[in-house]
Amino acid sequence: MRNLETLIKLQKTKVDEQRVVLAKIQKQLDDVIATIFSIEEEKKMQEELLHEMPDLSMTYGDYMEHFLEVKKQLEKQKDALSYTMELARDQLAELFEEQKRYEISLQNKLDEIEQERKRRERLELDELGGIAHERRKKQRKAS
C-alpha cells in the first residue's frame, strides 16, 4: 500500500510538471498569435498610409514581401506550437490516466482492508455472541 501511495505522489508530480510544460507552450502559442495579429494591424495601417500618401508605393512592394515572409514564418511557428501543444495534451492525459489507475488501485486495496476488518469484527462479535449464549444457557440449566 505504501508503494501505491509513493507512486501516486510521483505521478502527481509528473502531472503537475506536464501542466507547467503545457502552460509554457500555450504562452508561446499565444505570443505568436498576438504577433500575427500585431503585424496584420500594422499592415492595415500601412495600407491606410499608402492611400493618404501615394508616393510611398515605391517602398510598399518591399514592405509586402517582408510582411509575407514574416507572416509565413509566424504561421509555421504557430502550426509547430499547435502540434507540440497537442502532443503535450496527449502526454498529460496519459499521465493523468496512469495517476487515476494508481488511485483506483489504492482505493480498491483500502476497500479490501476495510472489508476484511469488518469480516473479522463480525466473526469476533459472532463468537462473543455464541459465548454469551452458552453462558446464559449454562445459567438457565444451573438455576
pLDDT digits (tens, 9 = 90+) for 59-69: 888 999 999 99
Distance CA 53, CA 46 (A): 10
Q: What are phi and psi of 53, to 5 degrees?
A: -130, 85
Using the predicted structure, report yes or no on whether residue 136 has a pLDDT greater than 70: yes
Distance CA 102, CA 107 (A): 9
pLDDT given for residue 143 in this prediction: 67
Taking residues 132-140, report their average pLDDT: 82
Using the predicted structure, report yes or no on whether residue 119 has a pLDDT greater than 90: yes
